[in-house]
Copies of this chain bind each other. A is one copy, B any other.
Amino acid sequence: MRGNLFAVAVDLVVLTVRRAELCVLLVERGAPPYAGTTALPGGFVRPDEDLADTATRELAELTGAATGATGHLEQLASYAAPDRDPRGRVLSVGYLAMLPDMTDLPDLVRSPADPDAPTAAWRPVGPLLESPGELAFDHDRILADGVERARAKLEYSTLAASLCPPEFTVTDLRNVYEAVWCTTIDPRNFSRKVTSAEGFLEPTAALVTGGRGRPAQLFRRGTATALHPPMLRQR
């Protein structure tokens, strides 16, 4: 009945915006196969875990639990080509995680939970998508699927706020859209649109001062998850 067994792994596409660029968290593989090459972080599902449990655990191990508060985690797709792993039959479930901008943190992320774990590094996605081949296994495809999902979801969901810190300005939010979509957006129309979308942004009492120009209103995430009307990217 079930003589054909698989190892099941969860691989993470962890995205954030750093220095106005969409970046992904990658690790250097220490063990074969593909030792010494770059790959998406991931690991095998444990006996008592559901898939989302594995994804949550691995994300916490990587970033130190900065996750649940403001971030976002969702299942992407599964990959199981017979020859995708030289060790044998391995099915990998891709998960997409989106974390707030932590540009103040270093490019290298060392796990606080497991100092022996490989060091993770933020890398801009642009070059990785344009010239694939650097990543181990079929991780180029998983990355491409994750980025495309993220780009599509910004259009009709309030997900972009997951890439912002807990309190942010309209310009912070616009910078997320511009980095993920590689476009520029008119700041004035954007501001009107997001502030008038029901449940997207909740104004706080505070203003941001210290920069040049007029101080900006600070917002928190609203309760809405869908965005009506959607934010359309130019094609």
* A residues with CB within 8 A of B: 1-2, 4-8, 44-51, 75, 77-82, 87-91, 93, 228, 235
Contact = CB atoms under 8 A, between A and B. Distances in A.
Nearest to A88: B2
Nearest to A228: B235
Given A75-B77, A77-B75, A91-B91, A82 B48 contact: yes
Contacts of A8: 4, 6, 8, 80, 91
A28 to B, nearest CB: 18
Interface of A is mostly: loop
Contacts of A2: 7, 44, 87-88, 90
8 contacts: A1-B7, A2-B7, A2-B90, A4-B46, A6-B6, A47-B82, A80-B93, A228-B235
